[in-house]
Structure 1
Amino acid sequence: MEPEKKAVVVTGFGPFGEHAVNSSWVAVQELEKMGLGEGVDLHVYEVPVEYQTVQRLIPALWKKHCPELVVHVGVSGMATTVTLEKCGHNVGYRGLDNCLFCPGSHCCVDGGPECIDSIIDMDAVCERVTASGLDVAVTISKDAGRYLCDFTYYTSLYQSRGRSAFVHVPPLGKPYSGEQLGRALQAIIEEMLDILEQMGEKINGRHEH
């Protein structure tokens, strides 16, 4: 019998503001072309920049695919590196989305913890990817920006008990191409899966769902 394939869900965002082409979705489409190897079923989704859609969509993706890992990718106009976000924040959402909507409570989950960390050691991922000689700089951040990126990350971390990741990418050509960003995502996600597998083996070799 062939070992079961692991499901991995990767999302990018649609256009918003000055980002008529969102580099996060371009990068995710490049990743989809390359794939994550034989053992992984990769599912990609373009997420509209809308709070209410995110609140509906993220739990639905977890339910549909029961993924090993969900990685959300977003663009940051200020980023010049590929940035691994360590945590998502619950409160402080005041920016209007593409529907000119903003959560009345300014938070993701009423009564949820202020901050949720990913269970993945982002420092380790960063070190490993950097050591692999990738032509893209990778850095770490603890602030995903209190807009839809952060909102999506928190929603996903809350849903998955920390089994999610968020990667910020710079706009296209500043300085990387879509293909370079796709390759960087591939390297990053492979390391994340490797780390999750090692963690699973430590916890008695079985994944409890």
Structure 2
Amino acid sequence: MQIILENFIGFGPFGVHTVNASWVAVQELAKKSIPGVIIVIREIPVVYETVKKQVPQLWNDVNPQLVIHVGVSKEANAITLEQQAHNDGYKRLDVLKTCPSNNCCVEGADECLMSSIDMEKVCSDVNGSGLKVKAVVSHDPGRYLCDFSYFVSLHIDRSKSAFVHVPPLGKPYTELELADGLEQVILSMLGQI
């Protein structure tokens, strides 16, 4: 079984993130051995057009059982499981100082798409695992590249798409603690698929 863990805000620092906790945590997770699971990680730049091209290409090339996008959020203080993504409202400039045309992800698509994965169940599983990390569920991935990339995947297949925000390193978790939390997220999601 292949799982793609994609990190769309991992091409070096951006904004206040001089170290991208999401990419560091995903790299740490890739070192783990999860029985029966092949983890494929990708780092994609914070560029709308690149995301719009590379995400569908990855789905096509890998044909994964599960796609989990992982991003960093300065507002997060727990592993934040995003239940849905939005199609419009993308007015924040990417690292190339561009926005998508019409501030939209997929022309003609629904305004909002929800993952078929029950994030409340994943949250409960993470919080009941005995790990130091805690999880929460969110319905607002932020109308930036995280939300945008998630919508692209949900538009491809809602039944096996997910997005997880992690807090910056040390606020409050280490990269190892975040990787342990992501492993529990994977196990819980695989139980639903």
Native 8 Å contact 2:114 2:158 kept in 1: no
Q: Distance in 2 between matches of 1:96 and 1:76?
A: 16
Give 1:49's aligned residue. Answer: 46
Give 2:25's aligned residue. Answer: 27
TM-score, structure 2 normalization: 0.96
Instruction: List aligned pairs for 1:123-138, cutoff 5 A.
Output: 123-138=120-135
Identity %: 50
1:81-104 Cα deviation digits (max 9, x unpaired): 110000010010000001111012
Instruction: Give 2:163's aligned amino acid.
Output: F
Structure 1 position 142 matched with structure 2 position 119: no
Give 1:11's aligned residue. Answer: 6
Q: Distance in 2 between matches of 1:113 and 1:84?
A: 21
Q: Distance in 2 between matches of 1:58 and 1:36?
A: 24
Instruction: Give 1:9's aligned amino acid.
Output: I
Give 2:168's aligned residue. Answer: 171
Instruction: Give 2:3's aligned amino acid.
Output: V
Instruction: List aligned pairs for 1:156-167, cutoff 5 A.
Output: 156-167=153-164
CA positional deviation for 1:127: 0.7
Give 1:108's aligned residue. Answer: 105
Instruction: Give 1:16's aligned amino acid.
Output: F
CA positional deviation for 1:159: 1.3
Q: Distance in 1 between matches of 2:172 and 2:38?
A: 30
CA positional deviation for 1:40: 1.2
Native 8 Å contact 1:9 1:44 kept in 2: yes
Give 2:68's aligned residue. Answer: 71
Native 8 Å contact 1:117 1:162 kept in 2: no
Q: Distance in 1 between matches of 2:22 and 2:187?
A: 18
Give 1:98's aligned residue. Answer: 95
Q: Distance in 2 between matches of 1:156 and 1:71?
A: 9
Instruction: Give 2:119's aligned amino acid.
Output: M
TM-score, structure 1 normalization: 0.89
Report which of the two structures shows the higher radius of gyration computed on alpha carbons: 1
SS in 2 for 1:144: coil
Structure 2's unaligned 5+ residue stretches are none
1:72-129 Cα deviation digits (max 9, x unpaired): 0000001111100000100100000011110121010011001110010000111112
Native 8 Å contact 2:105 2:151 kept in 1: yes
SS in 2 for 1:34: coil
Q: Distance in 2 between matches of 1:185 and 1:35?
A: 13
Native 8 Å contact 1:116 1:162 kept in 2: no
CA positional deviation for 1:35: 3.3
Structure 1's unaligned 5+ residue stretches are 1-5, 197-209
CA positional deviation for 1:160: 1.7
CA positional deviation for 1:162: 3.9
Alignment: residue pair count = 190
CA positional deviation for 1:36: 2.5
Instruction: Give 1:11's aligned amino acid.
Output: E
Native 8 Å contact 2:126 2:134 kept in 1: no
